[in-house]
Structure 1
């Protein structure tokens, strides 16, 4: 859902527009949402919203889809963008702590609830053609450069490590500023550049894509918010929704998208994956030495 109004204003406008078409249960969800503060929505799970409205988590999700947000995570993402820009990090942390409370069982459930929401949302955002294109590029490329900095670095390192174990020539970098130039210097024709970057439009992203164009490399962008902006300049965009609250790790969905790419590569290039897995295990055995009996 895209327009210049705040997420809450968008929500209220859609509720007014669709009110006559909504079921009583969906109206109950809408009434609660337009009355609640953004923070209440941001830190609530679908189940909690269902309990608060006397409906169910399925009704909450369906209502969010009817309103054009693609589900509860879509609304949370919109709210989080405004919340993050308007509220200082230490204040957000205090609010997060206040909302989760001190019930350890509840904290455990809340983390798993958000992780599940993000993963389900990521699954629904699959662009099958983009995924197929990304896999084909990685299968056929002579080498790959994987970029991810800050919270995105673990996902980038994960993909690079696993690609290397499957026999792909790959380099990973988290460098920014002048240091990134050394990594870009060796990006070559026909190679693949994979970028993990959830939302912030870093100067490095533009420079990376420009360099790929200049040398004839292809680009796969794994992002939450930058896909629309760079869609015309990269070969494939894969969605990886970031955390709206900070409760779960930023690279969670990026790592899962990477795992999907890796499994697809195994399927399409089984012999290379199996052969290099065998070599890796042989080297490990050699490094460990003979077992003492």
Structure 2
């Protein structure tokens, strides 16, 4: 693995057992909140860790950086990828209160909905409603969003499938993609590499593609519509309030677009529930 692709924390862990005492003390201090390095000057870090400025310089060079600025730049870049370890901070902006959590959620929703457009949502609703098959994908935490979205729309749009299923590979589904299909991918950070492969294959097939992702996702020509959700949270972990809200908005619009056919599906499903007597009454 090229040295430039090794993370800041991994560099420290690789070296820590062989460091001189002062550098080891500094390394252990950094590992508690490595993301904070992005906001420190070298002299500030030295003062907090109780070491000299020269110790800071020696450590960053030993880790493979040309100087402290290069190390700090690396940390800043890694923070944008969404690593909880890098996002956690020793000094938090707000206390862990209900009011602070509510404020963050409101801010996330406001930023997300301000960036959406009715035209984008109308396009997505039209593509999903008219598709021969709707393929819905998500990896890691995104699998939960994909499963929820599919479960909701399956009640009135049965031609949808969550991929990949247990014991399946994504290629086994890619082989069945057709031009009249629609692919919905949940790709909120941190994404796996398969997401780009999946979207590119869908583009080559000619099907419509939708990516529901985070606010830091860049511009792309691979996807027909990108819906960005603000995921900034009050702590080390991302907030997914806006992802759930965008799902809810799409699901409601899709149900309304399904018209009489969708309502008939719900009637049939309610009758089946009653016949099976499988749902609690309270």
TM-score bracket for the superposition, by shorter chain length = 0.5 to 0.7
Is residue 259 from structure 1 mapped to residue 254 from structure 2 by the alignment?
no
- Asked if the contact 1:221–1:227 (Cα under 8 Å) also holds between the matched residues in 2, the reply is no
Aligned to 2:79: 84
Aligned to 2:90: 95
Task: Tell me which of 261, 269, 275 is aligned to 1:280.
Answer: 269
Task: Tell me which of 164, 173, 179 is aligned to 1:189.
Answer: 179
Aligned to 1:242: 231
Aligned to 1:116: 106
Cα deviation, residue 245, structure 1: 3.9
Q: Secondary structure at the match of 2:219?
A: helix
Structure 2-normalised TM-score? 0.63
Call closer, same or farther: CA 1:281–1:202 in 2, change over 3 Å.
Answer: same
Greater share of helix: 1
Q: Secondary structure at the match of 1:196?
A: strand
- Asked if the contact 2:211–2:226 (Cα under 8 Å) also holds between the matched residues in 1, the reply is yes
Note the residue ranges of structure 1 that are not aligned, 5 or more in a row: 1-36, 40-79
Alpha-carbon distance in 1 for matches of 2:161, 2:173: 8
Structure 1-normalised TM-score? 0.61
Alignment of 1:1-293 (within 5 A): 82=77, 84=79, 89-90=84-85, 92-93=87-88, 95=90, 101=95, 107-173=97-163, 179-200=169-190, 202-225=192-215, 228-230=218-220, 232-246=221-235, 250-288=239-277
Alpha-carbon distance in 1 for matches of 2:242, 2:173: 25
Q: Secondary structure at the match of 1:134?
A: helix
Note the residue ranges of structure 2 that are not aligned, 5 or more in a row: 1-36, 40-74
- Asked if the contact 1:125–1:239 (Cα under 8 Å) also holds between the matched residues in 2, the reply is yes
- Asked if the contact 2:84–2:237 (Cα under 8 Å) also holds between the matched residues in 1, the reply is no
Call closer, same or farther: CA 1:285–1:224 in 2, change over 3 Å.
Answer: same
Alpha-carbon distance in 1 for matches of 2:260, 2:159: 16
Larger Rg over CA atoms: 2
Query: What's the CA shift string for 1:156-186, capped at 9, x where partnerless?
Result: 111111111113311113679x822223233
Alpha-carbon distance in 1 for matches of 2:140, 2:87: 19
Q: Secondary structure at the match of 2:90?
A: helix
- Asked if the contact 2:87–2:237 (Cα under 8 Å) also holds between the matched residues in 1, the reply is no
Aligned to 1:45: none
Alpha-carbon distance in 1 for matches of 2:213, 2:128: 18
